[in-house]
Amino acid sequence: MSKVRGYMSSVVITVDEDATVKQACQMMNEEGVSGLFVTSESSETGVFTDTDLLLLLSRGKPTDTKLKEVMSRDIFYVSPEASIKEAAEFIKANGVSRLFVSNNNSSGEKPEGIISVTDIIRALRDRLNFK
């Protein structure tokens, strides 16, 4: 079975928790990503994704809101040596669309990658030899 390492994105964009939603959206647009790893001076604090943006807008909050007020605080990790099946099961069980990839998820260090639902679909496509 394929490993997470072979399908993860090694691009992990970080943003400070005091940045505004508007600044985060600009970063996401410039980098072509749908989520950011939110940090503070001491360590990681959360995740800001396109889903968080939709929730913010649906609640009528302004885009100058600080990320620390609206980010998701749950950060889910998977080992780069985990199988794609394990990653898919973890994503389903936790109702998330991406996992951060790290061998050491307690150090506060930037993860080495991200694996998303899209990456898992790509792995399945490759396994089934779809073109």
| CATH, residue 81 | 3.10.580.10
The two three-digit tokens of residue 97, written as one number: 């669309």
The domain tally of the chain equals: 1
Which residues on neighbouring strands pair with residue 115, listed in sequence order?
99
Q: Give me the chain's average pLDDT, please.
A: 89
- Alpha carbon of 11 to those of 1, 50, 55, 87, 104: distances in Å? 23, 17, 25, 18, 17
Predicted local confidence at residue 126, as pLDDT: 87
pTM of this structure:
0.81
- pLDDT above 60: residue 106: no
Q: Which range marks the domain in which residue 83 is found?
A: 4-127
Mean pLDDT of the region 15-31: 96
Predicted local confidence at residue 41, as pLDDT: 79
Predicted local confidence at residue 103, as pLDDT: 83
Confidence of residue 44 (pLDDT cuts 50, 70, 90): low
Mean pLDDT of the region 41-51: 82
* C-alpha–C-alpha distance, residues 12 and 109, integer Å: 11
